[in-house]
Structure 1
Amino acid sequence: MIIDVAVATICFDGFGDEDFAPTFARIGDLGVRNVEFNTWYPRNLTPTGLDRIAARCADSGLTPVTLQVSPFAAGDGFGDLTREVTRWLWLLEAARRLGVTMIKATGSRRGERGGLNGLIAVLQEIAPLAADAGIRIAIENHFRNVVEFPEDYRQIFTALPGPEIGACLDTGHFAASGVDMITFIDDFHDRIIHIDLKDAAETGTDRFVRFGEGIVDLSSVLGHARARGYAGQLIIELPLIDRSTVIDDLRAGLEVARPYLTADSAGPS
């Protein structure tokens, strides 16, 4: 059982199209080698963009471990389904080019076309392709999203029992939604393949705060996940708050994660 740590580019770049420049400029100060790339913008996913990410990682001694991509756009009808499946064909190829074996995405906002059933329809088409490519798809929970509560995951996993589709447990979003994460781990421990670490200010809002300033008991969650056999990445995923304090903000997350790691990717203590 290997538990490793990575940092997401959103921690350095925020939500803007920064071409990952802040990430590559500052991640060396953090001492983490594994990176989750938030590939939300077109230039991130062009062949040239992917080659550039790979080259910059090689030059910096970094390892891409996950691609987080834009949410599933399920829509309605065969036209929307075909467009979304086609997008995922390229995402699988993008992961292959970067040597990444996991792609993470969440669903649409509640009330948008397609909903959870549309997401499941897309997954049923792409799951065999992901399995053939040796790539796993982590479905991330989000506040007020079609993937938010345990019953949403239960519906997904009933339709898709194969190991290529799993859950990303996002601690901040589950806290915002009021989900009992210990019970979730007990119910779905065999399907959790990714864990995002962040703290939430309070239930009922997706406002995320520095580690230790919110309501999430990360030590309890991580201890229980490890006890139930979790193996995979712990992603430090605090969205950028202040560029002047970013390293200290992220080091606080590393200190939370460090006791649960079985691979030394967190750099010197």
Structure 2
Amino acid sequence: MKKTLTLLASLVLFFVASAQSNQSTNSAVNPAKDWKFGIALWTFHTFSFAESLDKVDSAGLKYIEPNNFTKTLPELNDSSLMQLSPSGIQKLKSLIEQRGLKCESVYLAGGKDIDAWKKQFEAAKQLGVQFVTTEPPLDMWDSIDSLAGIYGIKVAIHEHWKGMSHYWNPDTTLLAIKGHPNFGVCADLGHWPKSGIKPLDAIKKLSGHIIAIHLKDIAAYNNPKLVDVPVGTGVIDFPAIFRELKKQGFKGPIYIERDATDQPSNLPSVIQEVKYYNEQVSKL
């Protein structure tokens, strides 16, 4: 009888400690401070790099995620980041710093062989990022994970929709992460619904692996032809997602990203999304 009571007491203490631990973890996350709110520069891809930075500033954002395949600056012959020399990358980096912006990641187009990836990792290293957002080929997981370890840069696996990306299903992403310590996730919330996947379910499945978020909304499920709509106006339950991210102890970048090209620019919708985000985060 004493043994039974002792066992029960131990179990009670265990569950109390676990609950306290979870509560401590959740309360330790302050979304207003720990979530690095910013924007993927693809949002303004119809504008020059300098004009994009102007729009980021107008939206009151601080963190940016450029990509390595769109044009940079006229004085750099409008070359893409992946084509720039080290001095060109430094010029770009200086411009970002002069604007008071922070660039902790870059989206990589990738390549078909390890030399192409190495060149892009080299440029990312020169830019000073902490991780790259990309979709590594299925047969290059080992080599890209190794490359990431050599350069000290994490890989955040991004997903497009079914038929366009191997990673449309979170299970594939989990397979890629297994045994690859430098892999994590960049969860694009607006792409999952195109494949019929609820973003909240995917976020829960990928818990513990999420490095960054692409903040995006969509008007309906199971329609890959749709372009995104302003965050908070589509089918995605963002309040529930934000609560889940806080519960998971997520600390990292959340980047607004628009695929649509509003006229004259996406800036008004971005400002609308900034307001929506701040309102939701203030409720957490």
**Does TM, scored on the shorter chain, surpass 0.5?**
yes
Whether 1:230 aligns to 2:250 is yes
> Distance in 1 between the 2:185 and 2:55 partners?
30
**What secondary structure is seen at the aligned counterpart in 2 of 1:55?**
helix
In the TM superposition, what is the alpha-carbon distance from 1:52 to its structure 2 partner?
2.5
2:202 maps to 184
Flag the 1:240–1:55 CA change in 2: closer, same or farther, 3 A: farther
Trace 1:101-250 onto structure 2 (pairs within 5 A): 101-106=130-135, 119-144=137-162, 145-158=165-178, 160-162=179-181, 164-203=182-221, 204-205=223-224, 206-244=226-264, 246-250=266-270
Distance of aligned partners of 1:135 and 1:260 in 2 relative to their CA distance in 1, 3 Å threshold = farther
2:229 and 2:172 map into 1 onto residues whose CA distance is: 26
SS of match in other structure, 1:208: coil
Alignment of 1:62 with 2:80, yes or no, is no
Assess if the C-alpha contact under 8 Å between 1:218 and 1:256 holds in 2. no
Segments ≥4 residues shifted beyond 4 Å? none
- Identity across aligned pairs (percent)? 21
SS in 2 for 1:172: coil
On the 8 A contact 1:102/1:135 being kept in 2, the answer is yes
Letter in 1 for 2:195: S
Stretches of structure 2 lacking an aligned partner (at least 5 in a row): 1-28, 71-78
- 1:35 shift after superposition: 0.7
- Alignment match, 1:266: none
In 2, Cα distance between equivalents of 1:243 and 1:100: 31
Structure 1 position 149, deviation (Å):
0.6
**Counterpart position of 1:32:** 61
Contact 1:19 1:44 in 2 (8 A): no
Residue 78 of structure 1 corresponds to which residue in structure 2? none
Structure 1 unaligned residues grouped into runs of 5+: 75-83, 108-118, 262-269
- Offset from partner CA, 1:173-232 (integer Å, 9 cap, x none): 012111122222222211111110011122222421122332112221122122112111
Q: Deviations over 1:22-47 (max 9, x none)?
A: 20232221111211002214532212
TM-score, scaled to structure 2: 0.75
Q: TM-score, normalised by structure 1?
A: 0.79
Matched pairs, number: 235
Higher strand proportion (structure 1 or 2): 1
Higher Cα Rg: structure 1 or 2?
A: 2
Root-mean-square deviation (CA, aligned residues, Å) is 2.1
Q: Output the amino acid matched with 2:172.
A: D
> Is the contact between residue 137 and residue 166 of structure 1 (CA under 8 Å) also seen in structure 2?
yes
- AA at the equivalent of 1:6: G
For 2:80, the aligned partner's letter is R
Q: Who is 1:116 aligned against?
A: none
